[in-house]
Amino acid sequence: MLKQIIRNLLSGKKTISISQEDIASARAALAGLEELKTEIDSIYSRSIRIRQVDAGSCNACEWECTALTNPVYDVQRFGIDFVASPRHADMLLVTGPVSRQMELALRKTYDATPDPKFVVACGDCAVNGGIYNSSYAVAGGVSKILPVDLVIPGCPPSPQQIITALLAFLKQQHR
Ligand code: SF4
């Protein structure tokens, strides 16, 4: 590992170029998100607050959730935001398989969230335990512990997939 790091340092500075296709594809994705903003605003008047719970993930799903609030996706402008306490949340967004160490904490977080509330299983591990499902340290997907209202598959799902799934779900609840 150390040899590899030294080799990389000695081989000079490397930059990654972004193609015009990549830029065009990112712009197209953002244009789609602008349409979602109007729909979320009109339905929920900026009232959706999410408490994210890592129940034992590899952290890649958290990176995608974190990207929701970066300047590219900027999910707050769509009326969706994250909160630090389940007592302020409308929705629990759970990532990772539910490790046995986190099972009780997840139940307590659910109990602390006021009704009405939604539970989202975000990522393959949260949906059904994913690649960790057979581990002795894992209780399984979120639905083994809590009633799940929405599943978002992917390993990990992209920020746009997460937003799109949330919007479709919220629109369905509104009907
Ligand atoms: S779904 Fe994939 S990215 Fe998300 S926690 Fe599981 S292994 Fe990691």
Ligand 1 atom at minimal distance to the Cα of residue 155: 2
The pLDDT of residue 29 is above 70: no
Backbone angles phi, psi at 83, to 5 degrees: -125, 160
The residue extents of the domains of the chain are: 28-174
User: Quick one: which atom of ligand 1 is closest to the CA of 96?
Assistant: 5
- The alpha carbon of 143 and the centre of ligand 1 are apart by a number of angstroms equal to 16
Greatest alpha-carbon span in the chain: 61
**Ligand 1: which residue has its CA nearest to atom 2?**
155
Ligand 1 pocket mutation, candidates 54, 66, 95, criterion most atoms within 8 A of CB: 95
Cβ-contact 93, 142 below 8 angstroms: no
Residue scoring higher pLDDT (24 or 161):
161
Q: What is the pLDDT of residues 45-71, one digit of tens each?
A: 657 899 999 999 999 999 999 999 988
Distances (CA, A) of 91 to 61, 72, 82, 169: 17, 23, 9, 12
Distance from the CA of 126 to the center of ligand 1, in angstroms? 8
Residues at CB less than 6 angstroms from ligand 1: 57-58, 60-61, 95-96, 123-125, 130-131, 155-156
Taking a C-beta distance cutoff of 8 angstroms, is the pair 141, 127 a contact?
Answer: yes
Q: Which atom of ligand 1 approaches the CA of 131 most closely?
A: 7
Bridge partners for 140 per DSSP: 98
What's the 7 CA to ligand 1 centre distance in angstroms?
31
Distance from chain centroid for Cα 48? 14
Query: What angle do the packed helices 159-174 and 20-44 form, to 10 degrees?
Result: 20
Contact 38, 80 (CB under 8 A): no
* Residue 119: strand pairing partners: 92
CA–centroid distance, 63 to ligand 1, in Å, is 10
pLDDT for the residue numbered 45: 60
Amino acid in position 81: D
Pairwise CA distance, residues 160 & 111, whole Å: 29
The residues, ordered by sequence, that sit 6+ positions from 91 with a Cβ below 8 Å of its Cβ are 48, 49, 50, 51, 117, 118, 119, 120
- Confidence tier at 152 by pLDDT (50, 70, 90): very high
User: What average pLDDT score do residues 101-130 get?
Assistant: 95
- CATH topology for the 28-174 domain: Rossmann fold (3.40.50)
